[in-house]
Amino acid sequence: MNYEIYNNKIKLIKADITTLKVDAIVNAANSGLLGGGGVDGAIHKAGGHKIHEECMKFRNKKGRCHTGEAAITTGGKLKAKYVIHTVGPMWNGGYNNEEELLGKCYENSINLAVENEVRTIAFPNISTGVYGFPKKLAAEIALKKILEVMKTNKNIDQIIFVCFDDENYNIYHEMMRGIQ
Ligand code: AR6
């Protein structure tokens, strides 16, 4: 299952993000950065202890990674060169600035990617699992941000939206069809 728009610059796939050979994959982390469940657990498991050690170093130097912010480590044993860890907002009915914070996750991840000369980057559906963000709203925010990035041409060749479940895949597919 895949779909693309903008001359393959924005791509949608259904996959396990840990299997991808791209410059960077994004992790939906928590502010402790030391792993957890969902995609975070899968990335730490597949990438091995090197990612954990680098996250510890970040913690020791800069403290916790706040909601909306991002931190970068190498990919450890993954095929991806880097992992960009970003902390999505926990959904609280929309009363805690969640929409803006989710947008910041995408924006700050891209900025960190560009600083590290990343040209291909894959995003999971941040906050739409354990953190309970409504999937359709999350997809709207993600796509809006990524379209902005591609329009201002920040030296990124390809952005891949990686969905793990059919529901998210179908939401993105529908929205991307509307853009073309
Ligand atoms: N590849 C791609 N996407 C995945 C994978 C995978 N291997 N596994 C899950 N997903 P979640 P959150 C999708 O819960 O909501 C963690 O414990 C999943 O279907 O991983 O941001 C952290 O440590 C969903 O659409 O992240 C935090 O404590 C999406 O990834 C907390 O969960 C995000 O689901 C973060 O919650």
Rounded to whole angstroms, how far apart are CA atoms 67 and 18?
Answer: 23
State which ligand 1 atom lies nearest to the alpha carbon of 168. 25
Residue 12's domain is classified under what CATH number? 3.40.220.10
Instruction: State which residues form the domain around 164.
Output: 2-176
Q: What per-residue confidence (pLDDT) applies to 180?
A: 66
pLDDT digit string, tens, across residues 90-117: 999 999 999 999 999 999 999 999 999 9
Rounded to whole angstroms, how far apart are CA atoms 127 and 133?
Answer: 5
pLDDT digit string, tens, across residues 52-81: 999 999 999 999 999 999 999 999 999 999
For residue 166 and ligand 1, the question of a CB distance below 6 A is answered with no
Q: What per-residue confidence (pLDDT) applies to 92?
A: 97
pLDDT digit string, tens, across residues 121-163: 999 999 999 999 999 999 999 999 999 988 887 789 999 999 9
For residue 26 and ligand 1, the question of a CB distance below 6 A is answered with no
Distance from the alpha carbon of residue 166 to the mean position of ligand 1, in angstroms: 14
Q: Which two tokens stand for residue 74?
A: 């190498």
Q: Does this model's pTM top 0.95?
A: yes
For residue 125 and ligand 1, the question of a CB distance below 6 A is answered with yes
Q: Is 166 a catalytic residue?
A: no
Residue 35: CA atoms inside 13 Å, Cβ hemisphere, count? 15
Number of domains into which the chain is organized: 1
**36 and 87 Cβ atoms separated by less than 8 Å:** no
Name the CA radius of gyration of the chain, rounded: 15
Q: Nearest 10 degrees: CA dihedral of 85, 101, 61, 154?
A: 60
